Amino acid sequence: MVTGDLAQLIGAGQLLVVFTGAGISTESGIPDFRSPGGRWSRYQPVTIQEFLTSDDARRRYWEYKRAAWPAIATAQPNAGHRAIAELERRGQLQALITQNIDGLHTLAGSSPERLLELHGTERTVTCLTCAARSDRTEVQTRLDAGEAVPQCPCGGWLKPATVSFGQSLAADVLERAFQHAQSCAAFLAVGSSLVVTPAAYLPQQAKRSGAWLGILNREPTPLDSLADWICRERAGEVLSEALG
Ligand code: NAD
């Protein structure tokens, strides 16, 4: 049985902090960044500074976002997202910290009280000038109708409510994530290459504070040597099996 220690911990009623990355959503059909053939190899990301200063960068940014949206809009939560929602229903989820912007944890039933979206969400669009929020689907309709770079009625640039390269993570969200990492007894990282900082510091923080650390990721990560339990299988299958 690959689930080993994790299944035992869950069976014993252990409270967990779960940290997820793009790898938990690949079984829902959303590609990750760093798997071979992932988006990284095909897309040169636009930084927030480029977005703010260059027409060409804004156009390239929205062209990519327009192409990437249908996969997110049509994706359904998979067994992994559902298992984490079930963990919460059982009262065993201290916090769910995610790097993902796809909103699938919420669709699976995870509650906003336990969820920390470190990199924001693709499902909402904000105006960089007046901070008005709008639904991503409406903006997609405008893009499909030919708008290259959507603007707010106030004249400001619209951008999904995600953290772009060069942009800082929301300080309050990050602080709460570190508090959970520091105070938890068990920390499980799922589907993350654990190379993006500061998020990748979270498992290290948990370990330093004495927590059990589990890493469930198809490929090796730089933090594997710290882990008490490692599993290199598919996240959805392993999580649902571990819940029994
Ligand atoms: P990553 O792409 O760096 O790493 C994903 C890891 O998941 C890889 O190491 C891969 O081996 C593993 N993986 C893939 N499918 C798996 C599966 N079925 N079971 C177990 N492991 C699996 O992802 P990251 O660490 O989250 O960093 C990527 C960044 O890009 C994040 O900051 C995130 O915001 C963003 N991103 C988000 C999404 C999304 O919201 N779904 C998708 C792509 C990228």
CATH number at residue 15: 3.40.50.1220
Q: Are residues 97 and 192 in the same domain?
A: yes
Q: Are residues 1 and 57 in the same domain?
A: no
Residue 151: how many other CB atoms lie within 10 Å = 15
Q: Are residues 3 and 102 in the same domain?
A: yes
Q: Are residues 99 and 218 in the same domain?
A: yes
Q: Are residues 130 and 239 in the same domain?
A: no
- Which pLDDT does position 244 carry in this prediction? 86
Asked whether 33 lines ligand 1 (CB < 6 A), one says yes
Write out the residue range of the structural domain in which residue 53 sits.
Answer: 32-74+123-162
Give CA–CA dist 227/130, Å, rounded.
Answer: 44
Asked whether 121 lines ligand 1 (CB < 6 A), one says no
pLDDT of residue 43 exceeding 80, the answer is no
- Which pLDDT does position 121 carry in this prediction? 96
Mutation choice for ligand 1 from 33, 124, 165, 230, CB with most ligand atoms inside 8 A: 33
Q: Which of 137, 167, 150 is nearest to 63 (CA)?
A: 150
Give CA–CA dist 3/229, Å, rounded.
Answer: 9
Q: Write the pLDDT tens digit of every residue in 103-160.
A: 999 999 999 999 999 999 999 999 999 999 999 999 999 999 999 999 999 999 999 9
Of the three residues 162, 188, 220, the one that is the final residue of a domain is 162
Lookup: tokens for 7: 């299944």
Q: Are residues 105 and 223 in the same domain?
A: yes
Mutation choice for ligand 1 from 32, 190, 197, 231, CB with most ligand atoms inside 8 A: 32
Average confidence (pLDDT) over 212-217: 97
Query: What is the amino acid identity at position 44?
Result: Q
Give CA–CA dist 51/60, Å, rounded.
Answer: 9
Q: Which of 127, 106, 130, 129 is nearest to 116 (CA)?
A: 106
Atom index in ligand 1 nearest the CA of residue 200 equals 25
Q: In CATH, what number is assigned to the domain containing residue 133?
A: 3.30.1600.10
Q: 3-state DSSP call for residue 23?
A: helix
Asked whether 23 lines ligand 1 (CB < 6 A), one says yes
Q: Which of 243, 238, 208 is nearest to 223 (CA)?
A: 208
Q: Are residues 242 and 179 in the same domain?
A: yes
Q: Are residues 53 and 92 in the same domain?
A: no
Q: Are residues 199 and 217 in the same domain?
A: yes
* Tally of domains in the chain: 2
